[in-house]
Amino acid sequence: MQQAQYQLIIVGGGPAGLTAGLYAARGRLKVLLIEKGTTGGQVLVTDWVDNYPGFTEGVSGFDLIDKMTAHADRFGLEKKFATIKSLQLAGDVKTITLENGEIFTAKTIVLCTGAKPRQLDIPGEYEFKGRGVSYCATCDGPFYRNQEIAVVGGGNTAIQDALHLTKFATKVTVIHRRGELRATKILQEKAFCNQKIDFIWNTQVKEIRGDKNGVAELLLSHHAGEESILKVTGIFALIGISPNNELLPLDQLQTDKAGFIVTDEEMATTVPGVFAAGDIRSKKSRQIINAAGEGAVAELSAERYLGNQAPDQPLNCSE
């Protein structure tokens, strides 16, 4: 039978992947984490995290990821920064082929590929992407100093980011398709009390318009039937997420309607030896703490699947 190079390969280096990596490295598995960019995922572009237990004063997304990465590194987690071309998940030995042609094999896989911002899918969005249309307040907020901008969405991301954007913009208009926000109450309270934030309810953006300088105005469609124009130089579309599943063999994995991977409560997918954790999983609550917790559960399940094989690593008596 073909021998696998690794006992476990983790795909993706956000909170789920880093936690799975930490657990696997501490469990002395022969483990590799493959990440296409830099570790962190969506948390890296989260301005402030106020609900991760233990950080009593809150922590920036960047610092939280820095600590998670350092924590896994302390136990010697092997990482490879490269783009995956394809995955073969069926059978005893799973194969991952990178775009550079390198091939890695493992007995088990934990998929932590996360999610990305959903697009509005309206005229002008593509044309003005990077010239007034943004999906990341932490990345692009400083470009809108002393300007009037809009945020679309009513969830935690939209409201938290609207608050963040008031550090730069003179006015932030939140455009929401319903008459009440989905965001957690403490964020709602902060936003309603913030003098720089206005709300337009029961409204959707129909078109983004501009010129050679970038975005200039939004055509709004109000549910009552009428339309109006809102003059802004930037629009942040923060309307939820879609799964990073393009690389995954979706014919082999069960997914929900939106394309998120279905697992059981042990994070096992429908493919033996393949587990999933974090935002790529089909679930109702998406929090950093969930992602980290699921990463731990997925790794422990992978260890069980491996049958508690003897550790591959030499004894280290210095710890």
Question: Among all residues, which ones are annotated catalytic?
Answer: 136, 139-140
- Indicate whether 290 belongs to the interface with ligand NAP (CB under 6 A): no
Query: How many residues bind to ligand NAP according to rule CB under 6 A?
Result: 20
Q: Which residue has the tokens 């600590």?
A: 67
Site residues for ligand NAP, 148-207, by CB under 6 A, read 152-158, 160, 177-178, 182, 204
Q: Cβ of residue 48: shortest distance to ligand NAP, in angstroms?
A: 9
Cα 299 to chain centroid distance, Å, stands at 19
- Indicate whether 51 belongs to the interface with ligand NAP (CB under 6 A): yes
Q: Cβ of residue 34: shortest distance to ligand NAP, in angstroms?
A: 24
Residue from the set 60, 194, 221, 287 that interacts with ligand NAP by CB under 6 A: 287
- Indicate whether 259 belongs to the interface with ligand NAP (CB under 6 A): no
As to burial, measured by CB atoms within 10 angstroms (0-12 exposed, 13-18 middle, 19+ buried), residue 182 is middle
Q: Cβ of residue 307: shortest distance to ligand NAP, in angstroms?
A: 35
Question: Which residue lies nearer to ligand NAP by CB, 250 or 258?
Answer: 258
Q: Cβ of residue 218: shortest distance to ligand NAP, in angstroms?
A: 12
As to burial, measured by CB atoms within 10 angstroms (0-12 exposed, 13-18 middle, 19+ buried), residue 193 is exposed
Q: In sequence order, which ranges of the chain are alpha helices (DSSP H)? A: 15-26, 61-74, 137-140, 156-165, 185-193, 288-305
As to burial, measured by CB atoms within 10 angstroms (0-12 exposed, 13-18 middle, 19+ buried), residue 137 is buried
Residues contributing to the site for ligand NAP (CB under 6 A): 51, 152-158, 160, 177-178, 182, 204, 238-241, 285-287
